[in-house]
Structure 1
Amino acid sequence: MREKTLGVGYPAYNARLYHFALDLMANYTLEGTLGRGAFGRVERARSDTGLVVALKVFEPSAAVTNAIAAGHVTIEELRRRFFSEATYQARIDHPNVVKVFESNLASNPPFFVMELAEATLAQDLSFDHTLNGAPHQALFDILAGLEGLHGQGIYHRDLKPQNILRLRNQDGSPRYAISDFGLIKITAGDATTLTMTGAQGGTERYAAPELISNFKRATARSDIYSFGVILFDIFVGPLARVPYTEVAIDGPIGLVAAKCTKSLPARRYATIADLRAALYEALQKAPPKFGSPREEHVIELLRSGVVLAEQDWDRVFLLLEELAPFTQAKDLILRSFSRPHMEALAGEAPDLLMAFASYYVDYVDACRGKFDFDYCDVVVDKLTWLFELGEVAVKARVLLSMLGLGVSHNRWFVERRFMQLAGHSLDAAVADRIVMDVEVGGIDVLSDIGHLERSINVSRTALALPLHKLWGG
């Protein structure tokens, strides 16, 4: 009977007995190998309840085995890395991060169980590098997943198409999610900063230049660099490029990719939200049409990146006052406001920030159900900035608008953001103001709360206590 070696430091096992042992430990039956990486083998497996999953078993590759033999790394270090990958990925509850269902890290060999993918982004790109001319969902799903990681102080450090999986939702729609956390870094610092000779810096084509000399220098902007190279893969193709250099692409997408891949990390996008807004604008195919030179001047001012003087702000807000709702110029002005604009107003002219918040929330509420999914993500970022910078009345209006936006578009990303901001940590004054606004305005949001619970599988009990009581506690 054929023997099967499970990795360096482990004995050879009878294949049939090995499968039986795994079945006893986790009630899974292995159905075939899906792939192999440096530290593990991924198997298709079926649980005793019929759930088909991916099971990742610790099994160092031949190249890694040679590194162990040469003394570059130890089996204990590799086990710690595998443990870290399973542990941290399991703790991240985000639809765009591959879910880990369970693990047995004390077994011999250790393994963990996760969602089964239909394909990797790399496979999709090899079939059609343009993703059938519609890369929007993949790109915005990747950004959402990265934001979920960065929000918990985690940097991936090896983001590439091979580590982005295409999954299938229960309703049949596709979803991309980030996987393979073998090289992650936790900002607090622990064993996950492990590297080994020949592997520092992640995958050469996608790794940021600061990782060449010291893998521990990775930040959120290192992952943003990798995303810029993925833009190159999609909008240019699988062509050779000099690693660790700035990406060159023609057109508006090129400007975004170039900023993602600046050699100096400080010159890249500071946050995923900044990158998402710029990417959305770059993907718009129709050039803006201005009704007058004045409109064009104001929008150029807002998009220039320069610090606006008092007279510049006067021009912006006088034009906002004059423009009728639902005009393209008004839409462009509201879209052109960035976080630095809002921060400047919060510090220099809080009344104008209040005015902008009113314009923006009115705009979002009037367009309920009319935005595309990608733009919903951009809108909720701006609503979040207003929530963070605004006073109590602004925060209350923003949360109610965010709830309506998420539910009307059935956008999980927005609904999760609402739950995050309106949870138990919500300031009592803001929660009370929401209660007052709902009662005085006769606003009926009970159906929205019910939809929210079903959509993202949450309970209204997770909301701040006054809201929980208001909405059926």
Structure 2
Amino acid sequence: MEKFRSYQIKPIGKLGDGAFGYVEKIKLYNSSGQFCGFYSRKILRPSQNIIESISLEEIKRRFTREVIYQSHCSHTNVTPIYLFNKYADKPYFVMELAESSLDTEIENKSLDDTAKINIFIMMLRGVKKVHDIGYLHRDIKPQNVLKFSTGMYKISDFGLVKNTDNGSNTTALTAIGQAMGTQRYMAPEILYNAEYSKQTDIFALGKVMEDLHVENKECQSIIQKCSSMDKRLRYEEIDEILSELISIDFGMNITIGRAECLI
């Protein structure tokens, strides 16, 4: 087992691969050998193509920013990070273990309209927290919305997050963001002008909801406004979307209320 601070880490198996690294399932123990639970660990291992486009040192700085930004967004609908080792040969961080991701749920076609709208609300609340901190997520897609054993859905993967309050994201990092993003979830202004804003995150949320095929007509109109090709017709803030959702009488068990929208 690996040791880090007052913990021992035992890898179980790989959960997924990406251009910048991979995620594995681990068992976590304290220094006394007591089992703490199952978690996931994201390990930095960039592909050769990535290394050729940007220096390894910049990739490591990017990885550190990912951890810092995700940790700043402490919220019920944002995946928490618990440990970070940036000094390892392959830097890594440990986070809550997900049950699956939204793309798997979509593929399984196991969600009814009630579940879909509740997922929409949870995504909105998670991204609202990101925006309230002063960040843009820039990579919202079904693979980056994780489902946990409690039934909670949480925003994850902060690798392309931009801090709008400073210039810490380099031009090279933005270029990687464009190269690595999934075109379906990119607003036109990203593709043509590399322009990111709250509205580009809202566009991506709308596209994710299109993937879910919600049947409720009033909710469909909200989704269409989120994913309008013309940003002037899109919502400008997450609060606007939540306010409209409140006004709809779904006649279902939808977990939203005025107090929740303020969180």
* Fold match by TM threshold 0.5: yes
SS of residue matched to 2:79 = coil
Distance in structure 2 (CA, Å) of the matches to 1:198 and 1:157 = 8
The aligned runs of 1:411-422 (5 Å cut-off) are: 413=260, 417=263
Number of residue pairs the alignment of both structures matches: 254
One of 196, 200, 218 as aligned partner of 1:222: 200
Aligned-partner residue type, residue 68 of structure 1: I
Shift of 1:281: 4.4
SS of aligned partner of 2:174: coil
The percentage of aligned residue pairs carrying the same residue is 31
Structure having the higher Rg: 1
Distance 1:269 1:32, change over 3 A: same
Normalising by structure 1, we get a TM-score of: 0.50
Residue 54 of structure 1: CA displacement? Answer: 0.6
- The one-letter code matched in structure 1 to 2:154 is A
Q: CA deviation at 1:197?
A: 5.4
Runs of 4+ in structure 1 displaced over 4 angstroms?
280-283
Listed one character per residue, the Cα deviations across residues 34-71 of structure 1 (whole Å, up to 9, x for unaligned) are 1111212111111114221111110113xxx12433xx
Equivalent in the alignment of 1:66: 49
Give the structure, 1 or 2, with the largest relative contact order (CA under 8 Å, sep 6 or more): 2
- Is 1:232 aligned with 2:234? no
- Going from structure 1 to structure 2, the CA distance change for 1:38 and 1:269 (only over 3 Å counts) comes to same
1:122 Cα deviation after fit: 0.6
Matched, 1:255 2:221: yes
1:187 matched to 2:164: yes
Please show how residues 306-385 of structure 1 align to structure 2 within 5 Å.
374-376=255-257, 379-380=258-259
Q: Distance in 2 between matches of 1:55 and 1:197?
A: 23
Map of 1:124 onto structure 2: 105
Give the TM-score of the pair, scaled to structure 2. 0.87
Given the alignment of the two structures, is residue 162 of structure 1 paired with residue 143 of structure 2, yes or no?
A: yes
User: How far does residue 127 in structure 1 lie from its aligned partner after superposition?
Assistant: 0.2
- Counterparts in 2 of 1:120 and 1:85: CA distance versus 1, 3 Å: same
Deviations 1:253-288 (A, max 9, x none): 3321221122332321121121123235457269xx
**Are residue 178 (structure 1) and residue 155 (structure 2) matched?**
yes
- Cα distance in structure 1, aligned partners of 2:169 and 2:213: 33
Q: Which residue, out of 241, 245, 256, partners 1:275?
A: 241
Check conservation: 1:23, 1:29, Cα contact below 8 A: no
The aligned residue for residue 43 of structure 2 is: 57
SS at match of 2:14: strand
Does the 8 A contact of 2:9 with 2:27 survive in 1?
yes
Map of 1:33-48 to 2, 5 A cutoff? 33-48=14-29
Find out whether 1:77 has 2:58 as its counterpart.
Answer: yes
Assess if the C-alpha contact under 8 Å between 2:42 and 2:94 holds in 1.
yes
Q: Is the CA contact 2:121–2:256 (under 8 Å) kept in the aligned structure 1?
A: no
Is residue 211 from structure 1 mapped to residue 211 from structure 2 by the alignment?
no
Q: Which amino acid aligns with 1:66?
A: N
Distance in structure 2 (CA, Å) of the matches to 1:285 and 1:258: 21
Q: Give me the whole-angstrom Cα distance separating, in 2, the residues matched to 1:198 and 1:228.
A: 20
In structure 2, runs of 5+ residues without a counterpart are none
Question: 2:24, 2:163 → 1: CA distance?
Answer: 27
- 2 CA distance for matches of 1:275 and 1:234? 17
Structure 1 residue 77: deviation in Å?
2.1
1:58-114, CA deviations, whole angstroms, 9 ceiling, x for partnerless residues? 0113xxx12433xx2222222121111111111221010000011011221111110
Counterpart of 1:174 in structure 2: which amino acid? G
Give the whole-Å Cα distance in 2 for the aligned partners of 1:43 and 1:206.
26
Does structure 2 retain, via aligned residues, the 8 Å contact 1:157–1:201?
Answer: no
Q: Could you tell me whether the CA contact under 8 Å between 2:20 and 2:50 is conserved in 1?
A: no
2:10 corresponds to 1:32 = no
Tell me, in whole angstroms, the C-alpha distance in 2 between the residues paired with 1:60 and 1:260. Answer: 33
Label 1:223 to 1:30 Cα distance change in 2 as closer, same or farther (>3 A). same
Residues 199-231 of structure 1 deviation map (CA, whole Å, 9 limit, x = unaligned):
34721111111111343x211111110111112
1:142 & 1:153 partners in 2: Cα distance? Answer: 17
Give the Cα separation in 2 of the matches to 1:214 and 1:68.
25
Match of 1:375, SS? Answer: coil
Amino acid at match of 1:264: D
Matched residues in 2 for 1:282 and 1:206: separation? 26
Q: Where is the helix percentage greater, Structure 1 or Structure 2?
A: 1
**Aligned equivalents of 2:62, 2:249: Cα separation in 1:** 38
User: 2:87 and 2:192 mapped to 1: Cα distance?
Assistant: 34
For residue 250 of structure 1, report the CA deviation from its aligned partner.
Answer: 8.9
